[in-house]
Each structure stands twice: as structure tokens, then as C-alpha cells.
A and B are shown apart, each in its own frame.
Chain A
Amino acid sequence: MSKLPACLNATEEDIRYLLAAQAHIGAKNLNVKMIPYVWKRRPDGIHIINIGKTWEKLVLAARVIAAIENPSDVVVISARPYGQRAALKFASYTGAQAIAGRFTPGTFTNYITRSFKEPRLIIVTDPRTDHQAIKEASYVNIPVIALADTDSPMRFVDIAIPANNKAKHSIGLLYWMLAREVKRLKNQIPRDKPWDVMVDMFFYRDPEETEKDTEALAPTEKTPSTFPMQESTWDTENVTNDWEATGTAAIGGVNPSIVATIATNNPTSSGWDMPDADDSGGWADTTGTFTAVSESFAEPPVPVEPTTAVFDETNAFDTTGGDWADDTNNPSTGW
């Protein structure tokens, strides 16, 4: 298209990243304006995006972003959870502002709102879900850059970067590449060396994943209703006892094997009260370690003696939730 210097061409590694993140996988529907960016329609209906064009638009967008004198005049927006982490990271690395989560209507138009912003440019993760931001930008002369999928509405979008905006790896990678390109254009990082920030920093992480990775912290309380445990998910290196799968525990109770693994994995835990059943979830797929999220719960854990498979509920914590409170000696009835 345009005659850009060769250093702005996509390297083979960039293309491989894009393909690995499935950024080329479009949607089954195709918006008329996106036709130039689509390479082909697969027999199963999915449109494949031309990654070469993705790269070109990405570079164009990066040039626009880099041209804004004051980097904090750029606002990155993502209502969807998959893009929130990416948006926040992008903002922190490029000096932009991020609006993750709900976009308060009036942010651009109502100068009385606390979140009143007057950006020179906005970057949007999905024109459909972030439509409120795009609409307001149209009232106040703000150009819009958007990650557009094949089925995204193009109204009021000025620069569309054709890419998959449904997959978390794709969104994360796109933002990572954008941030890297902007920093390169501003001469903040060199072109020849890879960026020392990993792409993974931009990927969305489920709360479960975040739990898995953090070290021993106060465990979260589980939701009483979610408890389809299989023994395999509880395998950690620290578990010395081989627990029979006692199946799922009573509603409001705790799977005894979990209790044991918690105990073995949380040597620092001092006391543990099972609070009421009105807690947040997160236990469903965790291994024995727990996330920082649970720090919000003040209750420290009580270590339970990893006894044999015979589980006496009186050993464990009191469960006050649910109908099972009375069922003291039937921890694993029929579940």
C-alpha cells in the first residue's frame, strides 16, 4: 500500500505470533466494510482475515498513536473482560489512560462527571460492546481506532485493525504489538532486540488461573453450589496422602480431600473459620494454593489434620451454610 521503510514490515516472528494467537480467525458474519480485509471464507463459514493487512493497519494505528504529543491524551477502552488486562497494560506501557469495565455514559460529553476525560484519540477493543464510547467520541471530534472483527460495525471507526477480537490471546497479542510498535516509533525501545515485556502480561487471566499461580495465601471460600470436584484437579506435589475421591462434599461442606491439601499446602495458615455460604467462588478448579483475591476475606484458615480417609466432619470447620448443617456424619452422601 504505502511506501513505508522496510523496518516497519512484519517479521516472520510477528506473523507466527499472530497465527498462533488465532488473530486471523474471523467470525461467521461479515460486515460489508470489512470485505477488503478478509482473505477467504472457510467452508465452515468462518472468515479468515488477511494478516498482512492486520499488520499494516496496526503499524498505521501505532504511527497515529505515536504522533499524539501528550501520551495521556490517548484513552484505551475495553468493556469486555478479555481486553481489560490488555488495555490496562497498554496504558501503563505507553502512558495512555485506560477505561476498563463499564464506560460511564457522559465520560466524554458531560464535564460534570467525575470521570470526565477529553482524549485526542481512543482505542477500542470491540466496536460492538464499546459502542457507547464510540458514540460519545462522535459528539466531541475524537478519532477512533478499533480492533475490528469481520462482523464489527464500522460506524464512526476511523482506523480499523482487522483482527480476531473474540479470543483472549488474540486481543492480548494485538495490544502487545501495538504497545511495542508505539514504543519503537517513539524510540523508547530498540527495533533489533525483542521487547523484554512478555506477551503473557497482556493476556486475560481467569480468576482461577490467577489463583493457581499465587503462593500460599488465605484461601477463598467456595460457593456452596459449585462442587463438581474430581480428584485429579487436586494433584499437587505437596499432597502426600493419597486421598480416595470422596466425591463432592455436602453443600456447604468442604470436600475432605481439599481440606487436606489445603492443610498440607498452607503451613502458614493459623486459623480457619468457614464463613457463611455467601462467599465468592473460585474453588471450583483450584488446586491447593489460593489466590490473592481471597485476601479480601479476613478469615484465616484453620489447618486440618490430614487424617485418614475416614472423614469426620467435626474435624473440619463448621459449615453454617445450607441444609447440610445437620448432617454431621454424612460428608459424602451420594454425591
Chain B
Amino acid sequence: MADTNAADSRGGDISVNVDMGTAGRWAPVTKLGRLVKEGKIKDLEQIYQYSLPIKEYQIVDAILPKLSDEVMKIMPVQKQTRAGQRTRFKAFVVIGDSDGHVGLGVKCSKEVATAIRGAIILAKLSIIPVRRGYWGSLLGDPHTVPSKVTGRCGSVTCRLVPAPRGTGIVAAPTPKKLLQLAGITDCYTTSRGSTRTLGNFVKATFAAIGNTYAFLTPDLWAKEEHKKGPYQEFSDILAKATEKRR
């Protein structure tokens, strides 16, 4: 998805943006981007509810300014050419706000810094909501996974099991980082397969975390009243924007 240009040059010229406080002025290209910039969409949950694909990473920046990222690994990968090997660096970056949103980005590039930057962008685009629940009594804030969930990637399966408050995250360093950034306080984990392949391991736990909202529990049985999607609700604003552009 990211093209070969440096990540920051995408989307607009560099000038100070008063509202956002981001480095450059972002000129959104997608409908969603425009709505976010106008401030019509205030949180990611609105986007998730209608399964809208996020194509511009500045959307996430605008909605979740306090994201911290963590580079899990820089992996040199090589391709054979007749003049030797061509080495590139693959960066795995996990991003999260420690309060219910995580993202995972993988990017390969000739330079480490570019790879990391690209991976951060991809991580922002892949942000996913994390559902947290209770182990026992529904006292206080949710702190653990709502149910046993599992995720697979390659040969690796990662299983997350609800834990009582105060347990902490019982996991290997790799998924531990992910779960911390997700905002899960207590969790037991089990894993199987070649967990040494960090790429697959981290993707497996990411999938498991994603499955927390894929699991239909009885409290979700109630029917939700159908509301208008943001594209429909704000179609007049979007129409104006396209008119201006034309």
C-alpha cells in the first residue's frame, strides 16, 4: 500500500497545521479522510461500526494522537542477484494506545529508518479495536480478554485466556508487548508452533486480539438500531468537498 516515496510526503505540502499539531498539512484524498479532518468523525468506533477501510494514516493520527509504537524486530532479508546479495530490512512495528487499540505493521525497505517509518504507517492503518472483559465479577474496568480467543499465522497459534485481576500478562516477551499496548492488563497465554519466527508469532497474537470482537457473547445479542453510515449522513459535506476539488 505504501508507495516508494518517503512516508511523510504523501498527502500534502509541508506547512504548519494549527489544529492537529502534526508536522505537515494533510490534504485528505479519501472521503473518510475528509470527514475526519472536518471533525465529523471523532472516534474510531464509528469507522469500525461500518467497516470503513482506512487508507490514510493521518486519519488515525487525528483521532488517536497518543499512540506509542514499538519496533519489535528489524530483520535483514536477502535476495540473490548476480552481483551478490541484495539486503533489505524488514521492520515489525506494533503501535497502540494501551487502551483498546492496537496495530501491527510490517515493512521492508533498503534502509532501516525507511522501513521503520513505513511500518509505523502501516501499523496505523491496521489499527483494530480490542475488546476487554472480566474474569470474574464485573467490578471496576474491564481488564482481561472477554473469553478464550486464539489466532493463527503460519504454524504459530497463540491463545489468550482470561486471567484474574492482578495476574499481569503471562506471556513471552513478544506477545507481552503487543498485549500491553492493547491495554489488556491480565492475561494467560499459550502458544504453539514455531514461535521463534517473530513475524508469524506477532501476527498470530494480533489475530487473537482481533478475535476478541469477533466473538459473539450473549450481551451482544441485542439488536442494534440501524443508523445512517457516515458517508450517507455527511454526504452534503462530502459533496461540497468534491465540488471544490473539481
Contacts and interface: CB of A to CB of B under 8 A. Distances in A.
Contacts of B53: 139-141
A120 B50 CA distance: 13
Contacts of A140: 53
Interface stretch (B154-162, B169-177, B206-214, B235-243): B235-243
Interface stretch (A67-75, A127-135, A196-204): A67-75
A141 B56 contact: no
Interface string A104-127: 000000011000101010000000
B113 interface: no
Given A70-B238, A139-B53, A111 B232 contact: no
Contacts of A139: 53
A139 B30 CA distance: 14
Interface string B36-64: 00000000000000111101100000000
Interface in B190-233: 231-232
Interface residues of B, number: 17
A111 B29 contact: yes
Given A72-B242, A118-B30, A141-B50, A111 B235 contact: no
B233 to A, nearest CB: 9
A68 B235 CA distance: 9
B103 to A, nearest CB: 19
B31 A118 contact: yes
Contacts of A112: 3, 29
Given A141-B50, A141-B51, A141-B52, A111 B30 contact: yes
Contacts of A118: 30-31, 231
A118 B56 CA distance: 14
Nearest to A73: B235
A144 to B, nearest CB: 16
Contacts of B30: 111, 118
Nearest to A69: B235
A26 B214 CA distance: 42
Contact of A116 (B3, B29, B50, B51): B29
A133 to B, nearest CB: 17
A120 B232 CA distance: 8
Contacts of B50: 141
A111 B52 contact: no
B31 A70 contact: no
A112 B235 CA distance: 22
Contacts of A70: 235-236, 238-239
B4 to A, nearest CB: 11
A139 B53 CA distance: 8
A165 to B, nearest CB: 29
Interface string B85-119: 00000000000000000000000000000000000
Contacts of B232: 69, 120
Contacts of B236: 69-70
A276 to B, nearest CB: 41
A72 B55 CA distance: 22
Nearest to A142: B231
Contacts of B238: 70
A112 B51 CA distance: 21
Contacts of B52: 141
Nearest to B5: A112
A139 B55 CA distance: 12
Interface in B2-31: 3, 29-31
Contacts of A73: 231, 235, 239
A140 B47 CA distance: 12
B47 to A, nearest CB: 11
Given A70-B236, A118-B30, A141-B50, 11 more contacts: A68-B235, A69-B232, A72-B242, A73-B231, A73-B235, A111-B56, A112-B3, A112-B29, A118-B31, A120-B232, A140-B53
| 4 tightest A-B CB contacts, nearest first | A69-B235, A70-B239, A111-B29, A70-B235
Interface of A: 68-70, 72-73, 111-112, 116, 118, 120, 139-141
17 contacts: A69-B236, A69-B239, A70-B238, A72-B239, A73-B239, A111-B29, A111-B55, A112-B3, A116-B29, A118-B231, A120-B231, A120-B232, A120-B235, A141-B50, A141-B51, A141-B52, A141-B53
